[in-house]
Amino acid sequence: MEKPIGIFDSGIGGLTVAKAVSKILPNERFIYFGDTAHLPYGDKSKEAIQRYSKAITKFLLANNCKAIVIACNTASAVSYKYLRDKYQGTIPIINVIDPIIEEVVRFGDHKKVGLIATRTTVASGVYQEKMSRRNPLVEMAVLPTPLLAPMIEEGFSKDKISKSVIENYLSNPIFEGIDGLILGCTHYVLIKEEINEFFNGRIKLYDSTDIVALKMKQIFEKEEMLCDSKQGVNHFYVSDITEGFQDSTLRFYGDNLKLELLKL
């Protein structure tokens, strides 16, 4: 099926998911929308996030997308159910939370798993609820980490500032005894190495990049939606562009790309 995939996030953090899609599904093209005018979603109300998500999904569907990927944990937490129900039987709606939970459960050896995420994601309780249903024996230690995404957006990683913030959060006693940690925001992929160093590689880290892309591949194979050959180019839209924003995309995507400004 030669239609594009629609991918959206509150900003450019979801470019980490888009990059994984390009690697695992090289024949697929996509339309990416980063709602940078409203970032971060983590401190917005549920109603506002749902409003933004509906508008972006409508735009992506108007551009003939064959599937929608909510490449944002916060939007996945509060908007996925609505979008799934609204478009059920029409197109696949893929969130970044369910694939991670499935992977944690599949691993099977965890007794206590930590979660770091935005305030809204944590407050939604969606990770806790899904884990409780899938494996009630796994204890979850959950902590909102609101400074991480803005820190990463501003380019602070692998330096004294990021190390200090990361250590401040992860040294919280709530994480004592964890054997796994879910990175509940697509931004956090960029500090995964620092997080791993904090724990001296002792625990298993879960992020949504390759896990979500592999889930998409599984769905596309089952539904016979895979594209046989590369068609066209990827398009990257943002709702606001600030100074230095183009440089920021290099950290999230790894390649130079053209950002197009689009206000919905």
- Give the catalytic positions in this structure: 72, 185
For residue 149, count other CB atoms closer than 10 A to its CB: 25
Q: Residues 260, 11, 31, 29: is their CA dihedral positive or negative?
A: positive
Distance between CA atoms of residues 155 and 174, nearest Å: 28
* Sequence-ordered alpha helix ranges (H) in 45-159: 46-62, 73-86, 98-107, 119-124, 126-134, 148-153
Yes or no: say if 27 and 66 are a contact pair by the CB < 8 Å rule.
no
Residues in CB range of 97: below 8 A, 6 or more apart: 73, 76, 77, 80, 126, 127, 130, 184, 208
Q: What's the half-sphere exposure (Cβ side, CA atoms, 13 Å) at 36? A: 25
Residue type, 214: L
Residues in CB range of 45: below 8 A, 6 or more apart: none
Q: What's the half-sphere exposure (Cβ side, CA atoms, 13 Å) at 243? A: 0
Q: Find, among 35, 43, 29, the residue nearest to 14 by Cα.
A: 35
